[in-house]
Homo-oligomer: A and B are copies of this chain.
Amino acid sequence: MSDSPAPIKIIRKQTGNFLEDFQPGQIFRHKGGKTITEGLFTTFTEFSMSTHPASKNARYARAYGYQGLVCPPGLVMLVAFSQTVEDVSENARANLEYIDMKFGAPVYVGDTIEVETKVIGLRPSASRPNLGIVHVQSTARKNIGDASEAIVVSWQRKVQVYKGKESAEVKAFDLPADDIEFELWIPPYDANAKLAELAHLSSPDSYFEDLEPGSRIEHSRGRTITDEHIAMTAILDNTSQVHCNQYMVDLNPKQYVGGKLIIFGGIPFSLCLGLSCPDVGDNALGDIIYTTGRHTAPLQAGDTVFAATEILNKRDYPSRADLGIVETRLFGYKMVRADGEQTDDAPEGWKRVQIFELDRQIAVKRRSHYA
């Protein structure tokens, strides 16, 4: 190859959109898409500490009518959500709220997920001229063009996005969310399937009959997140630099607690679901909807995450005598040195800081039918 001529033009690529770039009704067909490999599946399913046998044990999954190991809802969310980051939130300050995250078809190893997002709202900040809130609705489909094509998850989110130029004029708008028709797929009940013979593989005390409205379950396990989060974020194609570029942090360390990278919120989202699994998830046949959810404090490498679930309500599942619906509120928290701000729910010298909250409805098996 010949010598390089002196470059005449330096091109600095910008990625992501700024507040003034979002248009009413605009559709993003996100880049990439993602096929679920066994590497991706294992990394996240096991990181989450999920104990659900349908995500661990192919014999169990097939006996229930699944095609094979089932991706936990946290993994479906991570793969779908991450595809929207470059277009929607690469230039965001914070993700404010998850709204009406509804699940559809089960996701298996080998499925390919692709996502579209519609811009349905924008509101400039009254007090901060360089910021505003963008409201989007995203839909993730699997296996487009194949007989197995189906919606796997849809959701809305509100995200606080920076302007590219502070002087840019932006107009507020507010469109109704689309009514997207799809349903959670749950394996049909077969009284002859002898599923009780597999009952020892899931936890014995998390059936519909066990979950008591008005109770709060403090899940017993905690998990320390290491700088593994950098690789995990890359595996998800989440392109936000605040999760993986330490040099950017070092340039401006005061903006980041302890001069450390921020952990992508989807990671504790998935971990809290997993930590709650032995007590509320092991006998669920699906997560129906997360009506609202938010991150309430940031996480960094070294933090240990715990979770708790409040059982809010429970009711019959329409036309499925074998199941019930349980309304829960999932909390994530971390324990930090108190520095004089001791809280009652923590040992001396420590305080408990809530990091996450999710209103979550699940379809849970009845012991009467399955054990």
Which A residues lie at the B interface, using CB under 8 A?
A: 1-2, 4-5, 7-15, 29-35, 37-43, 46-47, 49, 51, 53, 56-60, 69, 109-110, 112, 114, 143-146, 200-203, 212-224, 226-228, 230-231, 234-237, 239, 241, 244-248, 251, 261, 278-279, 291-292, 302, 304, 306, 310, 312-313, 327, 329, 335, 347, 350, 359, 361
Q: Assess whether B13 is in contact with A251, with CB atoms less than 8 Å apart.
A: no
Q: Assess whether B278 is in contact with A15, with CB atoms less than 8 Å apart.
A: yes
Chain B residues whose C-beta falls within 8 Å of the C-beta of A30 in the assembled complex:
200
| Nearest-Cβ distance from residue A73 to partner chain B, whole angstroms | 17
Q: In this complex, what residue of B is CB-closest to A13? A: B220
Given contacts A216-B9, A218-B11, contact A53 B38 (CB under 8 A): no
Could you tell me the distance between the alpha carbons of A237 and B57 in the complex, rounded to whole angstroms? 12
Q: Assess whether B38 is in contact with A37, with CB atoms less than 8 Å apart.
A: yes
Q: List 7 A-B contacts (CB under 8 A).
A: A9-B212, A31-B51, A32-B57, A33-B57, A40-B42, A46-B234, A222-B248
Chain B residues whose C-beta falls within 8 Å of the C-beta of A347 in the assembled complex:
251
Which of A1, A216, A292 has the largest number of chain B CB atoms within 10 A? A1
Could you tell me the distance between the alpha carbons of A291 and B2 in the complex, rounded to whole angstroms? 11
Question: Contact partner of A220 among B15, B215, B313, CB < 8 A?
Answer: B15
Q: In this complex, what residue of B is CB-closest to A271? A: B234
Chain B residues whose C-beta falls within 8 Å of the C-beta of A214 in the assembled complex:
5, 7-9
Could you tell me the distance between the alpha carbons of A38 and B8 in the complex, rounded to whole angstroms? 42
How many copies of this chain does one complex carry? 3
Question: Contact partner of A47 among B201, B234, B327, CB < 8 A?
Answer: B234
Could you tell me the distance between the alpha carbons of A5 and B39 in the complex, rounded to whole angstroms? 41
Could you tell me the distance between the alpha carbons of A261 and B33 in the complex, rounded to whole angstroms? 36
Could you tell me the distance between the alpha carbons of A7 and B59 in the complex, rounded to whole angstroms? 38
Could you tell me the distance between the alpha carbons of A57 and B115 in the complex, rounded to whole angstroms? 12
Chain B residues whose C-beta falls within 8 Å of the C-beta of A279 in the assembled complex:
11, 13
Q: Assess whether A60 is in contact with B33, with CB atoms less than 8 Å apart.
A: yes
Q: Assess whether B53 is in contact with A42, with CB atoms less than 8 Å apart.
A: no
Q: Assess whether B59 is in contact with A14, with CB atoms less than 8 Å apart.
A: no
Chain B residues whose C-beta falls within 8 Å of the C-beta of A278 in the assembled complex:
13, 15
Chain B residues whose C-beta falls within 8 Å of the C-beta of A246 in the assembled complex:
224, 302, 304
Q: Assess whether A217 is in contact with B143, with CB atoms less than 8 Å apart.
A: no
Chain B residues whose C-beta falls within 8 Å of the C-beta of A235 in the assembled complex:
42, 46-47
Question: Contact partner of A312 among B5, B32, B60, B291, CB < 8 A?
Answer: B5
Q: Assess whether A2 is in contact with B313, with CB atoms less than 8 Å apart.
A: yes
Q: In this complex, what residue of B is CB-closest to A37? A: B38
Chain B residues whose C-beta falls within 8 Å of the C-beta of A201 in the assembled complex:
31-33, 114
Chain B residues whose C-beta falls within 8 Å of the C-beta of A47 in the assembled complex:
231, 234-235
Chain B residues whose C-beta falls within 8 Å of the C-beta of A212 in the assembled complex:
9
Question: Contact partner of A39 among B9, B10, B11, B40, CB < 8 A?
Answer: B40
